Amino acid sequence: MGARISLTAGFVSVAAGALVGTLLGLVAGYYEGWWDRAIMRLCDVLFAFPGILLAIGIVAILGSGMANVIIAVAVFSIPTFARLVRGNTLSLKHLTYVEAARSIGASDATIILRHIFPGTISAVVVYFSMRIGTSIITAASLSFLGMGAQPPTPEWGAMLNEARADMMTAPHVAIFPALAIFVTVLAFNLLGDGLRDALDPKIEQK
Amino acid sequence: MLQYIAKRLAGLAPTLFIVAVLVFLFVHLLPGDPARLAAGQDATPETVELVRQDLGLDKPLPEQFARFVSGALRGDFGRSLRTKRPVGTEIAERFMPTFWLTVTSMSWSVIFGMGIGVLSAVWRNRWPDRVGMTLAVSGISFPAFALGMVLMEVFAVQLNWLPTVGADSWRHYVLPSLTLGAAVAAIMARFTRSSFVDILQEDYIRTARAKGLPESAVVAKHGLRNALIPVVTMMGLQFGFLLGGSIVVEVVFNWPGLGRLLVDAVGMRDYPVIQALVLLFSLEFILINLIVDVLYGLINPTIRYR
């Protein structure tokens, strides 16, 4: 039960953040100029809030609850994806095959989606898998602080918060949710490391 | 160099301005009427109206924003809705415990993390590397609040070596700073290792070895200085992580700092406090990043600032 909530929260929030971030990054990198400045300024502002502070601020506005935590964590992932994709787009769009596509009269949308987007996918996938771990921890932290899922919803962070009162008599109530978070996040982090080694062309095969 | 710093400070202005606008709008984005929130649940409509005038919420938005900014510049953020004391005083009282907690966590985790990273890179794919990297990947996967609970249970409750909550002596700092620094140490270790592994492949390292320098001198003089450049950048980013992480850790250890003040304020919808804290946290973060950029130039002579 708790697994479903925590995993969904981690996955959905990163997916939403990655989608918006990738779109913004593509637009910023491809059109440059005014779009680029506006989007990167927005990212700077989002980056100006350290760690989970941004998420806490959003939850303070929207009110506590699991859905709002997911929105908060998603917003918190947008700028990193936007920067990553923008950097890739900037270098990709000067390549010959993109120029070729433009010279045969392909529209901007076609060039972005068919020719540039595939080139950014591997970086996004690697980052995506590494980010899920962080997001699960962030979502669990917010619930632990009482801003996310409310007991008795068996979200892992909320379970730990509840178990805190009974640490003396029933430590196992705290140990198992903690282990569950640890093992899940560890799995996603190792997956991310593996994917990075496999997909990142910058790392030579040694 | 000074010119560069001045230019960077000027570049911060637009970001700071937008942050200030967002923080200001925060009150107006809150669900419900802020005047009613301030007056309390069972205030009469007349009282709410008085509170609205008192807080200046009946004025047009630009005027309110000007008031907010000039107040913020003078350190005046109004009064806390919960304690009725000035927000500035509340924050000043809580600032030092959080500051020291962040500093102690950062110090141990950077030293420890870089140590593990260098050892792992030098003995790559041998047992020190395996042990170090297993510790590091566990470190980034274990949530801080769970680690804090485990440490508190074992060392404070079961073994009774260290105090559980509060911030009165250095012994109170041990467990919270261990908890807060663990993830940072792990990230620093991984990052130092990968940066060092790259450096050790460079030609100048081979040259240093070829001219017969002992391996320790090669690592310490030729390797470390060059590997430090990306590591310092990483440190800056980690500071933001620490500021955010301190919020969670302070709740676990009942620490009398800014993080817990923020969580309590969110729980009570004490918006003047939330506003001031969010502004303070992001200001700190922006300034730290600036300092890191400047440091970056000092240790890397190949960068010329224009």
What are φ and ψ of residue B162, in 5° steps?
Answer: -130, 155
d(CA B136, CA A184): 16
Residue A185's pLDDT is what? 82
Q: What pLDDT is attached to residue A167?
A: 65
The partner residues of B79 in beta bridges, in order of sequence, read: B86
Q: What span, in angstroms and rounded, lies between the C-alpha atoms of A138 and A68?
A: 13
Residues B229-268 as b/e (b if ≥16 CB within 10 A, e otherwise) read bbbbbbbbbbbbbbbbbbbbbbbbbebbbbbbbbbebbee
Measured in angstroms, the CA of A196 and the nearest CA of chain B are apart by: 13
Contacts B243 to A, Cβ<8 Å: 50-51, 53
| Model pLDDT, residue B240 | 72
CB contacts, 8 Å: B245 with chain A: 51-52
Chain A residues whose CB is inside 8 A of the B247 CB are 51-53, 56, 145
According to the model, what pLDDT value does residue B102 have?
85
Q: Is B244 on the interface with A (CB under 8 A)?
A: yes
Cα gap B288→B146, rounded to integer Å? 28
Q: pTM for the whole thing?
A: 0.76
- Choose among A181, A203, A201, A199: nearest CA to A191: A199
Distance CA B8, CA B18 (A): 16
The C-alpha atoms of residue B276 and residue A110 are separated, in whole angstroms, by 46
DSSP letters along B214-279, please?
-HHHIIIIIIHHHHHHHHHHHHHHHHHHHHHHHHHHHHHTT--SHHHHHHHHHHHT-HHHHHHHHH
Residue B273 and residue B38: Cα distance in Å, rounded?
12
Mean predicted lDDT score pLDDT of chain A: 78
- Cis preceding-peptide flag for A152 (omega within 30 of 0): yes
CA-based nearest distance B282→chain A, Å: 5
Q: Give residue B164's pLDDT.
A: 67
Give contacts of A131 with chain B, Cβ < 8 Å.
none
Cβ contact (<8 Å) for B281 and A49? yes
Interface test with B, best of A76, A80, A137 (most B CBs within 10 A): A137
**CA-CA distance, B68 to B62, in Å (whole number)?**
10
Residue-level pLDDT at B167:
62
What's the gap in Å between the CA of B126 and the closest CA on chain A?
A: 15
pLDDT band per the 50, 70, 90 thresholds, residue A206: very low
Residue A205 gets which letter from DSSP? P
Name residues whose C-beta falls within 8 Å of residue A100's C-beta, 6 or more positions apart in sequence: none
Q: Per the CB < 8 Å rule, is A141 touching B281? A: no
Residues of chain B with pLDDT under 70: 27, 29-34, 37-38, 40-41, 164-168, 299-306
> What's the pLDDT score for residue B235?
78
With CB atoms and an 8 Å threshold, state whether A61 touches B278. Answer: no
**CB pairs below 8 Å between A and B: how many?**
125
Q: Report d(CA B187, CA B60) in Å as an integer.
A: 47
For A94, how many CA atoms within 13 A lie in the half-sphere containing its CB?
Answer: 6
Contact check, Cβ <8 Å, B26/A61: yes
Chain A residues in contact with B263 (beta carbon < 8 A): 56, 145-146
Q: Chain A contact for B197, CB < 8 A?
A: no
ipTM confidence:
0.71
3-state secondary structure of A80: helix
Sign of CA dihedral A117, A118, A120, A121: positive
Q: How confident is the model at residue A204 (pLDDT cuts 50, 70, 90)?
A: very low
A167: nearest CB among B153, B239, B243 = B153
Output the pLDDT for position A179.
80
Per-residue confidence (pLDDT) for residue B301, from 0 to 100: 64
Task: Judge: A193–B142 Cβ closer than 8 Å, yes or no.
Answer: no
Beta bridge partners of B86: B79
Q: State both tokens at B149.
A: 């609970």
- Asked if B78 contacts B272 with a C-beta cutoff of 8 angstroms, the reply is yes
B243 at A interface, C-beta within 8 A: yes
> Which of A45, A64, A200 has the highest number of chain B CBs within 10 A, making it the mutation to test binding with B?
A45
Phi and psi, residue B86, nearest 5°: -60, 140
The tens digit of pLDDT for each residue in A61-90 reads: 777 777 788 888 888 888 888 888 888 888
- B274 vs A41, A60, A133: nearest CB: A60
Give chain A's contact residues with B (Cβ, < 8 Å). 41, 44-45, 48-53, 56-57, 59-63, 133, 137, 140-141, 144-147, 157, 160, 164, 167-168, 171, 174, 177-178, 181-182, 185-186, 189-190, 193
Residue B219 to residue B205: CA distance in whole angstroms: 8
What is the secondary structure of A102-135 as a DSSP string?
HHTT--HHHIIIIIIHHHHHHHHHHHHHHHHHHH
Q: Is the pLDDT of residue A106 over 50?
A: yes
Q: Any CB–CB contact under 8 A between B287 and chain A?
A: no
